[in-house]
Each structure stands twice: as C-alpha cells, then as structure tokens.
Amino acid sequence: MEVKDYKRKITHRDYGKAEAGLQQYAHGVDKVITEIPRAVKLDDIKPKEVFTQVNQKFIILYYAAKVLPHMAGGVALAMIIMFLIPSDEEWTFMPIIIFSISCIAFVFFAVYLFTMPKKEHILNREDGLITFTGFYWQANVTMPFENVIFSYSTGGEDATGSFMLQVIRPTKGHAFDLFGAGNGDCYRDISFITWYMDKNRPLPPGDAFDEYRKQDFERRKAECFPRPLYQSNIPTPEATKEQQEEREKIGGW
C-alpha cells in the first residue's frame, strides 16, 4: 500500500534562549515509555476521530480546528441576542460593556473561523519530526521530535481538563497546544507517541499497524537493529517470537 508523504518543512529547531527555563517547567512530561498504551484498532481510523491515518511512516491526528470559533462565537452571539430582546430595563455602564465585548468577540471568532490557516497534528516517524498548530493565525510548527517539550494541563479548580498532554509552542509567548492521542491522560499519550516516534523500536500495539510491521521490521534489520532512541520502562517486543530472537541476535537487545 502506497503511503502518502506528509513530511513538512522544519520551522523551528528548538526553543532558543527560553529552552533552559522551559526544560525546568514543573508540569513537564518526559519522553519515556512508562505505560502500555491503548492498542490502535483499524476501526479507530476514521475521519474526525482521533486517528485519521496510521502507517509505519506517519500518524495524522484529527484536530477539531472549528470547535473553538463555533463555541466561543456561539456564546457571544447568544449574549448579543439576549441583550437585543426588548426590555424595560435601562442600559447602564456594565451591560453596555458586556454587550460591546460580546459584539467584538463574535466578530473576532467569525473572522477567525473563515481565515484560520490549516491546522495539523502530524507524527513523522520516518524523519523524527512532529507538526503541531500555531497560535490562532500563526502557521503550523514543525520541529525535531527530540527537541519538543511536552507538559500536562492543570485544568480547573475541580481538576476538569487536567493531566491532558500538551506541547509547548516555540513561538513568542510559548502557548500550549493540546496534543492527545486518545489514551485519556498525558502519561499514556506520551508513552504511545514516544513508542511510535522511536523508529528503532517495533510499531506500537494494535491491528492498525499490522500490515506495516513486516516492512518496518525489515528496515530496522537492514540497519542492524540500532538501539532505541528513548527510554522505556516496559518491554516493547517484536510482533513474533522469531523476529524477537533475530533482533536479539543481531542487535543485542
């Protein structure tokens, strides 16, 4: 099966002068395989689901780019309509401010909805690159995976939305971009992503990868099974006992 090329041009190599401080960020998530991630099934590969494409070279993750402008713009429009309903109450300073902010927000998100650049989340196993979204109108960012800094979200006071995996953007302000992989928490997500992006390891669990396992194994065999790029606290075995024995004999691990 022919695999479409999703390689994107590198936009940033690292975080520049801010990198030292960001590396010490208290909510950082290391690129270590600590848990067995959820197996990616063929049934999981669907448009507008977490995984839209999966193979031995690329994973394309669905990014719901229009959710924010639809929701925020919808709330602003609802506020505008509420204020326009005839009422005997006099408009004081505060209602005028709220109405004005609602109008500005509605226009902002309406314009953003129709002018936003294409948003992409791409894992490029072959070249060791990751592509994630820019902030609002900023272009997508493509960086070497080894240099990207991940963190987890803190959520609200009731912990809603906490421990979700996010990537720190290298652009000014270092805003966050949620970068989940369908596992439900940051540590399982980073385990899956790191496992997949370590091209010296076999592909992660799941029948979605089965048709690519033999080809990926032969590629690594031709390279004499180089040792893994990232640490793992759990076994990441080959698909068959015979392949595992061959890797141990040739690669020594």
Per-residue pLDDT of the chain (253 residues; tens, 9 = 90+): 567 899 999 999 999 989 888 888 879 999 999 999 999 999 999 888 899 999 999 999 999 999 999 999 999 999 999 999 988 888 899 999 999 999 999 999 999 999 999 999 999 999 999 999 999 999 999 999 999 999 999 877 776 788 999 999 999 989 999 999 988 899 999 999 999 999 999 999 999 999 999 999 999 999 999 999 999 999 999 999 999 999 999 999 9
pLDDT score recorded for residue 251: 95
Rg (CA), the chain: 22
CB 119 within 8 A of CB 133: yes
- Of the candidates 194, 223, 246, the one whose C-alpha atom is nearest the C-alpha of residue 35 is 194
Please state at what angle helix 93-115 crosses helix 67-84, rounded to 10 degrees: 150
Cross-strand bridge partners of residue 130: 123, 143
Contacts of 85 by beta carbon, 8 Å cutoff, 6+ apart: none
pLDDT score recorded for residue 132: 98
Extended strands (E) in 112-171: 121-124, 129-132, 141-144, 150-152, 165-168
Q: What is the DSSP letter of 189?
A: H
The residue behind tokens 């801010």 is 18
Q: What's the rounded Cα separation, in Å, for the pair 103 and 118? A: 26
pLDDT score recorded for residue 201: 98
Backbone phi, psi, residue 129, to 5°: -120, 155
pLDDT score recorded for residue 1: 58
Other CB atoms within a 10 A radius of the CB of residue 152 amount to 19
The token pair at 8 is 């994107």
Three-point CA angle 109, 121, 26, nearest 5°: 90
Cross-strand bridge partners of residue 122: 60, 131
